[in-house]
Amino acid sequence: MTARISIGLPAVTVHGLAQAEAALSAAGPRGVLLLSAPGAAGFAGPAWFLEVVAEAARRHPGVPQRAALDCGGAAGTALAALRAGVRLLVLDGACPAFPAVAAAAAEAGAEIWPGRPRSLDLGRLDLGRRDDLARLRAWLAMEAPQEGGTPPAP
């Protein structure tokens, strides 16, 4: 699900440390939202995501960033992510337990979004290629809201 969520930062979907680093390196002083893959909380886990984001931030100090872990429609996974320390979650707004998870997030001082913001999926780019790296830089330079984020599958 793609939602029109105003986040103030350009968003990129990252699948690992190298992509998170590339996004931070290209972001500059404006910053970036590092967004996990759809449903990543269920298959990669919150600890992995927190570690990737922390290491990328350590390697690129001073670059403004936020990080959002996508929990798909899994309320239990979202609650586990909150317990693990994730402070920005995406949980499908159609999930019947969304209101309860949103209350738990508010109590924990966390934020929860009912859908994914538009993002550029770095898993579909080869950041070793100049044109794909230029595409990332162009995406990060655009003003929000961004349209048509994820490139079509090859």
Residue 48 clears pLDDT 80, i.e. is over it: yes
User: What is the model's pLDDT at position 144?
Assistant: 53
The answer to whether residue 153 is domain-embedded is no
Residue 153 clears pLDDT 60, i.e. is over it: no
The answer to whether residue 112 is domain-embedded is yes
The answer to whether residue 147 is domain-embedded is no
The structure's pTM equals 0.88
Q: Which ranges of the chain would DSSP assign to H, the alpha helix?
A: 17-27, 40-43, 46-59, 75-84, 98-108, 130-141
- CATH code: domain of residue 85: 3.20.20.70
Query: Sheet of 120-121: strands edge to edge?
Result: 111-113, 88-90, 65-70, 32-35, 11-13, 120-121
The answer to whether residue 6 is domain-embedded is no
The Cα-based distances of 138 to 15, 141, 146, 147, 149 in angstroms read 20, 5, 11, 13, 11
Range of the domain at 130: 11-141
The answer to whether residue 150 is domain-embedded is no
- Three-state secondary-structure class, residue 89: strand
Two structure tokens written together for 58? 């350590």
User: What is the model's pLDDT at position 5?
Assistant: 56
Number of domains observed in the structure of the chain = 1
For residues 154 and 7, the model is more confident at 7
The answer to whether residue 30 is domain-embedded is yes
Residue 82 CA to residue 96 CA, distance in Å, equals 18
